[in-house]
Structure 1
Amino acid sequence: MSRIGLVFLCAFLILPAFFADAKKTRLTDNPLYGVTTTSPEAFLGYPLGERLLRHDQINYYLKQIASENPRVSIENTGQSHEARQQLTAVITSSENQAKLDEILAQRQQVKYQGEQQGPMVIWLAYSIHGDESSGAHSALKLSHMLATSEEKWVKELLNNAVVLITPTQNPDGFDRFSTWANGYAGKVAVSDPNHKEHKQGWPSGRSNHYLADLNRDWLFLRHPESQGRVALFHRWQPHYVGDFHEMGHNQTYFFQPGVPERTHPLTSKANQKITAKLAAYHQAELDDKKQRYFSRQLFDDFFYGKGSTYPDINGAVGVLFEQASARGQQQDSVNGLVTFQEAIDNQYATSISSLKGALALRSELEEYQADFFKNKHQKAIKKKPRQAGLLLSADNDSGRINALTTLLSQHKIDYYYLTHTLSQGGLDFAVNNSIFIPNKQAQSSLLEAMFDDRTEYIDPTFYDISTWNLQHAFGLTLRRNVKLELSVLSQTPPAFTPVSFSNDAVALLIDWRQSQATLLLQQLLEQDILVKFAAKPFSMQVKNKDLDFVAGTLQIPLKQDGHKASELNKLVAQLANKLKVDVIAVNTSAASSGIDLGSPDFELIKPIKPLLISGKGTSTSEVGQLWYYLDNVLGVATTVVDINQLASIKLSDYSHVLLADGRYQTLDERFARKLGQFASEGGVIIAQKGALHWLEKSNLLKNNLRSDRFYKQLFDAEGLTFDEKSAFKAKQAIGGAILELKLDPSHPINFGLNGDRLPILKNKVIGFSQTNGPFSVAAKYTSKPLLSGYLAQEYQSSFSNSPAIIVESRNKGAVVAIADNLLFRNIWLGSEKVYANALYFIPALN
């Protein structure tokens, strides 16, 4: 028989059996039968990684495969500051896709019932730092593989798990970097680290629109990208979270566990045990590629505001990955050539090992999560009429309490309002500015972490800050383990009483301690309404009662040129009711004690026009925090100027010049003289941290500073072995500790702050000398300044009773010198009023 005849005979014998099997399992039963899912290469028209993608290209690709493939759907978690969509691919079997609502409903019960139902949830999140783009590119490759693969392990995975893939967590920074790197990439790849492709301009793509490091914002949620990300976390309550980053180009590859002694004490050993088991899968995958790596070094697992640690305090297991970065297409390193394509491949490899490891350890991950929430959920409060918890108050300011409750809600932490004023330990907790947070609830672990006050640590080495206690950040009064009856608690917030004013009022008074009073003031100034502030306290009779008004109280006289009293009444009422600011009308200028309303101690507030210095040599994050505060909190049109353009700027056009932390080495004597003249003619310089060194060097700051050299002599390094020097260096660092300041309440820079104590976060070795001079010390560190976190005893003793905030007069103007960043990550709401005072009050008093 011929060869052709033999082939036909075999086909004749085989086909019946094939069709018989097909009747049992039809090809059309496979949801991927006949489906064509576009690959990244086909979508782009060039190989993935040949050039850096933009965020919109990534989003379009996710939408493309979601429209083509039954395994893929899309979650939209909102927009970035620059209105870029934040998309996550939801990849699972078509059967699971058909019942996602049911699966989500099951996930919502995890915290409250402790039961594990439905598929496991794995979340792989990439490129939260926009210039660490290899992760985002590997995410596209992974998405296509999961959507199309028929491998046995992949099908098992998608039948038993939902995989969430978020390629870019920082859309604005991601596009900033890709535009830079692509713009300086030639046809011939340049590996020289000095090439402009590898040397980003200021700011780099690491940060978001307001120059914030979003991988430090998981707890604080100051930015919409973070808010959407945390909402996604709690919507899905994942079992495992992979957090993919890049590090310096001279490194290799890192995956957790991190340094064991630097794991936060609230993270359980069970969590770290699973992390170690998962590491075996990463090792195997990278060993197969002959890729070098390290673990248990350099990186910690401490601060819960990061992507790899936030899951650990929320019932999941988070794992950090760090890939050596090419910061472009390729770059020479001590380990050889680092290429972007290799980085993509490594991130893809550990994405695969994450999926395989999580699948293999599914029962352990589910058991860990069930145990994490076991016995934590607060049962129906009616069944337990007496609850123990935290009682908090923001004295005279409902704004900070509202900001706290918003944050607690985003983290799914239960809280209650008071139905009437309570007294605890000699302090009153009023209805409109106090809340109660039960200890026993599903999110009790996160609650404990957010108000943790420890000052002792096994290893005082921190990759980031050592403390973040929200009591101090928000400037709150706190009582722990207070037991309250159900009758004094409510889930309904107290109603704001709308303000209205009678025609016989002569002035309107606003308590400056209210957070929203700053925004109200700015809006009044923008409408050319005359506003004054009280330089001294006073009392007025209102509705037959004497009311005390603190220094800093705002006065709006109702007799003003160009404004009718009735129109002013109406306008102020509208703004006050919109912003929920209490305003009190008075029908006399006579005080019952203290200064009258017509007193010269009521100072006129002038409109402000601030200039914020930015650019190379300034701290990206702190410039961003000042910008965020001015723009979002005060609502002030802020001119941000690059440091290299200052020579051509007419400073007299501005009321204030703000200098964040930085080195300012490019500023010369000519600009120093120009800035000095600006202050002498009535301008105000507001400077903090490193900027103070330049001011001192330029003779713009009369007080002497203490810096690294002074403080390092306090430490005894004699007799240390080589191995001990690393720990000694960590002891000399100030990673971030909360210290207490003693205020001069009579100083205008402190108006609106409660009492004479102020918690601040210190993270730089800098201070003022204790010598006398032609300046006023507005605040000092207390005799025992450490409130929370780690600070070497040598620093505690040296900072004790030394100045922290100084105001120096300059003829008609002033220099406000601040040793610390009182806006820290825009979460330090308790001290941000200092900047408002420097902007609105200091000019009037010089």
Structure 2
Amino acid sequence: MLKTGLFLLTLFCSLSLTSPVIAADSQRVISVSNSNLDPVITSPDAFLGYPLGQWHLRHDQVNYYLKQLARDSAKVSIEDTGQSHEARQQLTAVITSSENQTKLNDILAQRQTVKSGANQAGPLVIWLAYSIHGDEASGAHAALSLSYFLASSKEPWVKQLLDEAVVLITPSQNPDGMDRFSTWTNNYRGQTDVSDSNHKEHRQNWPNGRTNHYFADLNRDLLFLRHPETRGRVALFHRWQPHYVGDFHEMGRDKSYFFQPGVPSRTNPATSKPNQLLTEKLAHFHRKALDGLKQSYFSREGFDDFYYGKGSTYPDINGSVGILFEQASSRGQVQITKNGELRLSQAIENQLATSISSLKGCLALKDELIEYQSDFYQGRDKVLQRGRQTGFLLGAPANRARIEDLTKLLSQHKIKFYYLTNTVNQGGIDFNPDTSLFIPINQPQKSLLLAMFDNSTEFEDPTFYDVSSWNLEHAYHLQMVRNSKLDIDVLSPQAPAKFNFKMSEQAVAVLVNWQQDLAAPMLQALLQDNLLVKFALKPFTIKVAGETKKFPAGTLQIPLKQAGHTASEIKDKLVKLAKQYPLNLYSVTTSASTSGIDLGSPSFKIIKPIKPLLITGRGTDASEVGQLWYYLDSKLSVPVTLVDVGHISKIRLNRYTHVIMASGNYSSLDEQFARQLGKFTSDGGTVIAQKGALTWLNKNNLLKSDIKDTRFYLRLFDTRGLSYGDKEKLAARQSIGGAIVELKLDPSNPISFGIRGNRLPILKNMAIGLTTSSTPFTVAAKYADEPLLSGYLAKEYQASFSNNPAIVLETRDQGAIVGLADNLMFRNIWLGSEKIYANALYFVPALN
């Protein structure tokens, strides 16, 4: 490649005789160069004061440039979709003709009729979204170049495009990760470019810029919507209901360029054939554009279209056509790869080329894209009728907060649901109006609804780029009747009135059923106010307002007689908390139960305030660390101390009540720290460890239960007679990308308190297990006899996991170790098993 100067590469243009020209300095710069541009429009180079790509962009520079374009051009306006966790604005440029800009409200009103199946009027809507992984920076740079080109170009095909279409451009979908990355790589860039991949410019610190503030992969969050960045993105999608979505990424430096279609046999069966046909037609435009640049590429391998929680697949189940683009990454300015030298400027150039080919392809296929989307919503099964309907009847007994969380999720996905007005008994289950929902199947969002509750266990190709199941019935641990028939006319779109907590004047204590999700954050608030709270080791019944009521083990008791607090102060605090955390509280006027333990029983254990420490840093799984941090920080409001693994041995562990270890290898921790941690538990501390962390604990004689690791499970697969061509199929069977399995709980073990029944669905994505311990009373949960509930899990794994331990609680003098073979709060959507962590935090320390 040339080392100095500018060279010109002419892009393919199918709709006119003229073409936009990309100018690229082979060392560092990239821009759109064309004499037919409006000089009034500020270019990225002029705005930045240096050529685009010379330095990695910060998110604020992206936002300020979009605002500058909106000031310069009547073709550009701005959509604000809210803030990231770190309060960075998420902006999208809306680029269309000046005439269309004056009619945006009318256009948006038309877009809101799409799901009704009405004949479409108005322009084509194209959404190009970039850099959802913050360290995949070429996309964000290409987005600025493209925005400038569309705002300033006078070419006939661009004029036609903006007359007939609205183009949405989101340069950065992960503001916090983008800034983490750009700060790092810019900090370690010198005057002379270094292409050595070992140079710090190319090797980010932990955590890297791929993820957001809580180390979450936002390109896995589109179904779950746990993070504000994704919620804003999905809101924008349904506001505009685009016909086409381009999702621009980067991949390993030694690859070339990928665009969909992906592996045909790994496309989700719910994605229609017409969708895949349009994907292939659009691919012709990308091939021609990249061939014009002499850039090699590939399709139909490596990536799939299965999991609907990604940016390129969520559109496919919502009436749009989504396309994934993957560019080999230079990470910094330049790296040596197996294919030679790869520069940021080359990556930007490729992303810009396929961005323009997307626009030209959409314009050429405009009628087909509109027809496809119209057909998607015009089926009779996509119309919500009145009267009796077949649908999903869902319940979360004694747990209104979980239903409220689900309703928020459904609402954001535009899925219609109803509340019960009376108790309904179906399948031998009572569904209470306060904690139940009915979701009719025949509705505009039927395709997405069925995908979110899919229960498949058989697949044409058992290879998955991500998880093989994400069934919300199991994630929320719901009771469910799949073919319920109810009359919608007697249901209600309005939520029932919330529980009205009234404190009796004669009350001696207040009780809180621990099965409620909001019980844990309320408990934390009480402990932070130094109030005494106890939990029940055993179930009991007691009279509440003259009626006998059952309370399960784990129930919280707040006595109204406490040293340092008056009864009036405690009552005021509880009334306030009952409004802040809408859950059911019950005041009782006696300590005498009608059966089971009395309120003054020693089987009510005092809960002590907690001060957890979470180990972070290289060697730990960033995504799992982030999920634990998110839960402790955002849901429980616990001040959690994050300590890097390289610094942990210098910490006085006795200052903390818990040490939490996400999955990881922890190979940097030595025997000296193992002794420190052993003393910590002996002196009363609690260790909560999961997955890979268990191996380190076992090797250092801290965990008595033995570990079955990947090597053990791989030996279960019979490889006799296999040919070289069977290698990939075997690897697919041996992989656990993510399947839903069932645990059998010991309901008497405090680790299981607050979980309905003795069965618990979890997401398993690692070949690791525990052996049956010779020490009695340590196994809190085992995998079920037939563990697979949903998704793909090889028969060899199913047989080996069956009836083997999944959760252990090992006591050690005054402390304990809680060992989890799985991540029980997978992507913070696994609400059904979150309580395990709360029990380990609040209940386990009280057992010794």
Same fold (TM over 0.5): yes
Q: Determine the structure 2 residue equivalent to 1:13.
A: none
CA displacement at 1:718 relative to structure 2: 1.2
The Cα offsets for residues 471-523 of structure 1, whole Å up to 9 and x where unpaired, read as 00001011012110235310010111321212211110000001111111000
2:20 is matched with: none
TM-score after normalising by structure 1: 0.95
Output the CA distance in 2 between the equivalents of 1:334 and 1:573: 66
Aligned counterpart, 1:572? 574
Matched letter for residue 495 of structure 2: P
1:198 partner letter: H
How far off its partner does 1:576 sit?
Answer: 1.0
Counterpart CA distance in 2 for 1:569 and 1:820 is: 40
CA distance in 1, matches of 2:37, 2:344: 34
Letter aligned with residue 450 of structure 2:
E
* C-alpha distance 470-380 of structure 1, shift in aligned 2 (>3 A): closer
Out of 258, 262, 266, the residue aligned to residue 258 of structure 1 is 262
Gaps of 5+ in 1: 1-31
Q: Which residue of 1 aligns with 2:222?
A: 218
Q: CA deviation at 1:379?
A: 5.1
Deviation per CA, 1:416-475: give whole Å up to 9, x if none.
000011100110000100000000100000000000000000000000000000000001
CA distance in 2, matches of 1:375, 1:778: 49
Contact 2:773 2:779 in 1 (8 A): no
Amino acid at match of 1:677: K
- Which of 103, 119, 142 is the matching residue for 1:138? 142
Q: Secondary structure, in 3 states, of the residue corresponding to 1:365?
A: helix
2:510 paired with 1:519: no
User: 2:786: which partner in 1?
Assistant: 784
| 157, 164, 176: which one aligns with 1:153 | 157
Letter of the aligned partner of 1:585 in structure 2?
S
Q: Could you list the per-position Cα deviations for residues 214-259 of structure 1 after superposition, in whole angstroms to 9, with x for gaps in the alignment?
A: 0000000000000000000000000000000000000000000000
- Matched-pair contact (CA < 8 Å) for 2:504–2:588: no
TM-score (norm 2): 0.95
Q: Within 5 Å, give how 1:612-627 maps onto structure 2.
A: 612-627=614-629
Identify the residue that residue 343 of structure 1 maps to in structure 2: 347
Q: Verify the 8 A CA contact 1:260 1:296 in the aligned structure 2.
A: yes
- Corresponding residue for residue 313 of structure 1: 317
In structure 2, the residue corresponding to 1:43 is in which secondary structure?
helix
SS of residue in 1 equivalent to 2:78: strand
Does residue 1:123 correspond to 2:127, yes or no?
yes
Q: Specify the SS of the correspondent of 1:560.
A: coil
The answer to whether structure 1 residue 89 and structure 2 residue 76 are counterparts is no
Judge conservation of contact 1:420–1:488 (CA < 8 Å) in 2. Answer: no
How many Å separate the matches in 1 of 2:675 and 2:196? Answer: 40
Could you list the per-position Cα deviations for residues 136-187 of structure 1 after superposition, in whole angstroms to 9, with x for gaps in the alignment? 0000000000001111111111010000000000000000000000000111
- Does the Cα contact within 8 Å between 2:382 and 2:446 map onto a contact in 1? no
**How far is the alpha carbon of 1:577 from its aligned partner?**
2.0
For the Cα contact (< 8 Å) 2:37–2:153, is it kept in 1? no
Are the structure 2 counterparts of residues 34 and 310 from structure 1 closer, same or farther at C-alpha, using a change threshold of 3 Å? closer
The 3-state SS of whatever aligns with 1:522 is helix
Which residue identity is paired with 1:360?
Answer: A
Distance in 1 separating the partners of 2:427 and 2:253: 56
Q: Secondary structure at the match of 1:141?
A: helix
Q: Kindly tell me: are residues 562 and 735 of structure 1, through their superposed partners in 2, closer, same or farther at Cα, counting changes over 3 Å?
A: same
Is this contact kept in 2: 1:745–1:756, CA < 8 A? yes
Match of 1:533 in 2: 535
Query: Superposition pairs for residues 658-737 of structure 1, below 5 Å?
Result: 658-737=660-739
Task: Give the structure 1 partner of residue 596 of structure 2.
Answer: 594
Question: Aligned pair 1:51/2:67, yes or no?
Answer: no
Distance 1:140 1:377, change over 3 A: farther
Judge conservation of contact 1:774–1:808 (CA < 8 Å) in 2.
Answer: no
Deviations along 1:615-657, one digit per CA (max 9) or x if unpaired, are 0000000000000000011110010000011121110000000
CA distance in 2, matches of 1:699, 1:486: 59
Distance in 2, Cα, partners of 1:33 & 1:319? 29
2:457 is aligned with 1:455 = yes
User: What is the RMSD of the two structures over their aligned residues, measured on CA atoms?
Assistant: 1.1
Q: Aligned partners of 1:376 and 1:109: how far apart in 2?
A: 16
Instruction: Work out the CA distance in 2 between the residues paired with 1:503 and 1:528.
Output: 23
Equivalent residues in 2 for 1:139-538, closer than 5 Å:
139-375=143-379, 381=385, 384-538=386-540
Compared with structure 1, are the counterparts of its residues 592 and 388 closer, same or farther at alpha carbon in structure 2 (3 Å cutoff)? Answer: same
Cα deviation for residue 380 of structure 1 reads: 6.4
Shift of 1:774: 5.2
The letter of the residue matching 1:204 is N
Q: Using the alignment, how far apart are the partners of 2:589 and 2:666 within structure 1?
A: 52
Q: What secondary structure sits across from 1:830 in the alignment?
A: helix
**In 1, Cα distance between the equivalents of 2:751 and 2:691?**
17
CA distance in 2, matches of 1:778, 1:455: 27
Structure 2 gap segments, 5+ residues each:
1-35
Q: Is the 8 A contact 2:37 2:152 kept in 1?
A: no
Tell me how far apart the structure 2 counterparts of residues 376 and 554 of structure 1 sit (CA, whole Å): 50
Residue in 2 that maps onto 1:106: 110
Segments of 4+ moved more than 2 angstroms: 32-35, 375-381, 770-775
Contact between 1:767 and 1:799, CA under 8 Å: does it hold in 2? yes
C-alpha distance in 1 between matches for 2:350 and 2:380: 39
Contact 1:604 1:844 in 2 (8 A): yes
The Cα of 1:541 is off from its aligned counterpart by: 1.5
Summarize deviations over 1:340-371 as a string: whole Å, max 9, x none: 00000000000000000011011111111011
Q: Which residue of 2 aligns with 1:835?
A: 837
Aligned twin of 2:805:
803
Give the partner amino acid of 1:67.
R
Helix, strand or coil at the partner of 1:679: helix
- Give the residue type in structure 1 aligned to 2:51: P
Contact 1:498 1:577 in 2 (8 A): no
CA drift of 1:591 comes to 0.7
User: Which stretch of the first structure deviates more once superposed, 683-692 or 573-582?
Assistant: 573-582
Query: Structure 1 residues 692 and 376 mapped into 2: Cα distance closer, same or farther (>3 Å)?
Result: farther
Secondary structure at 2:724's aligned position in 1?
coil
Q: Quote how far apart the aligned CAs of 1:778 are.
A: 0.4
Counterpart contact for 2:746–2:758, Cα < 8 Å: yes
Deviation at 1:732, TM superposition (A): 0.2
Match of 1:9? Answer: none
Amino acid at match of 2:62: I
Superposed displacement of residue 33, structure 1? 11
User: Aligned partner of 1:36: which letter?
Assistant: V
C-alpha separation between the residues in 2 aligned to 1:290 and 1:33?
Answer: 26
Change (3 A) 1:547 1:74: same
Distance change (3 Å), C-alpha of 1:672 and 1:269:
same
Instruction: Report the Cα distance in structure 2 between the residues aligned to 1:107 and 1:544, rounded to whole angstroms.
Output: 55
> Is the 8 Å Cα contact of residues 619 and 660 (structure 1) preserved in structure 2?
yes
> Alignment partner of 1:298: what SS?
coil
Paired residues of 2:708 and 2:768 also in contact (CA < 8 A): yes
Aligned partners of 2:829, 2:683: CA distance in 1, in Å?
Answer: 34
Which one-letter code corresponds to 2:516 in the other structure? Answer: Q
CA distance in 1, matches of 2:439, 2:579: 28
**Higher Cα Rg, which structure:** 1
* SS class of match (1:417): coil
Counterpart Cα distance in 1 of 2:767 and 2:283: 37
Partners of 2:495 and 2:451 in 1: CA distance: 25
- Equivalent position amino acid for 1:334 in 2: K
How far apart are the structure 2 equivalents of 1:360 and 1:523?
59
Q: Deviations over 1:73-100 (max 9, x none)?
A: 0000000000000000000000100100
Map of 1:815 onto structure 2: 817
* CA–CA distance in structure 1, aligned partners of residues 128 and 38 of structure 2: 29
